[in-house]
Amino acid sequence: MSVVSLADVEAQARGIMSEAAWAFVAEGSGDGWTLGENRRAFNDFPIVPRRLRGVDGASVSLGVRLLGHDLPYPILVAPSGVHLFVHPTAEAATAGGAGRAGALYTASGASTLPLEAIAQATTGPKWFQSYVNSDTGVTRDILLRAKNAGYTAIVLTADALGPGMSDHFVRLGMPFPPGMTFGNNDPRDGGRGNFLDQRTALTLDDIGTIGSLTGLPVVVKGIMRGSDARDAVSAGAAAVQVSNHGGRQIDGVPASVSVLSEVVDAVGGSVPVLLDGGIRRGVDVFRALALGATAVATARPILFGAAVGGAAGVAAVLERLRDELHHTMLLAGTQAVGDISRGCLRGMAA
């Protein structure tokens, strides 16, 4: 599958996906201001290329090291739920595509398939995103299953304290795919409990509890303040992910990229900082890296790719972002990811 731009894939997906699937996947909460701001705000950070730096296009290096993994490029698959909306094999398609492209895949606690099936579908590294159930035994069981299935980090989502749905999806009556279950809680797959019975009163103590239980690094996703990032690191977070949940939760909050530098400065290099929200081009990835992100993550383009071409579509989306980042680095005068700094952006000190 050949991809010229992710906008093309999104347009094709819109013609394939049902109205309900589009409303659930593509749209944001409230008036959609934050959803739009996630894209627009990248334009606040124009790239200023360096010239005559001897950068060799054949050896531009995109590799990064992240929590023990040597990744071929700094683009991850962000967690998102209910992939049955976009492909009949659900997360098997998205995880399989990530594996083909060599990308790290983050499995959602709200997946259609159980975490074990998702783990088997990808040949690449994988993290598991956990929600915290009101029944601590349910949470414990799922976390231990994730460790046993080979997931190498747990992503604690701090920004989703209830279902995130667009007005359009609610007006349609919230029609989830027929026969869909939340795979990690399905007793047919060894699960138990009610996925929707989530504990919302999360605290910093949950970071240490998850880390102690699993022995795995904990990534705290949903950080939008520097002070919250510092607190999370002090409580044991191995990484923080700047995210507003793709504009699916609270509307009216800043774009993720708008607060990225604040979070980066707050942690002072003590842990990796990731970013998701609005990534559609290689120049977006470059800007995030220049602002201090170790890597970025994307979700909606992955789902659009799955809708259009299954695993092959997902791989093509990731490979297009990778190739665009390579091209941007060459033209911006940066040989390696480590050479990308704030000095690559207009009006920002190196």
Q: Give catalytic residue positions.
A: 245
The SS3 call for residue 242 is strand
> What's the rounded Cα separation, in Å, for the pair 306 and 280?
16
> What's the rounded Cα separation, in Å, for the pair 9 and 164?
24
Q: Identify which of 154, 110, 97, 160 has the alpha carbon closest to the alpha carbon of residue 128.
A: 154
The SS3 call for residue 3 is coil
Task: Convert 142-157 to b/e letters by CB count within 10 Å (16 or more is b).
Answer: bbebbeebebbbbbbb
Question: Beta strand 239-242 with 64-66: parallel, antiparallel or unpaired?
Answer: unpaired
All residues at 6 or more sequence positions from 176 whose CB lies less than 8 Å from its CB, including other chains: 20, 24, 82, 85
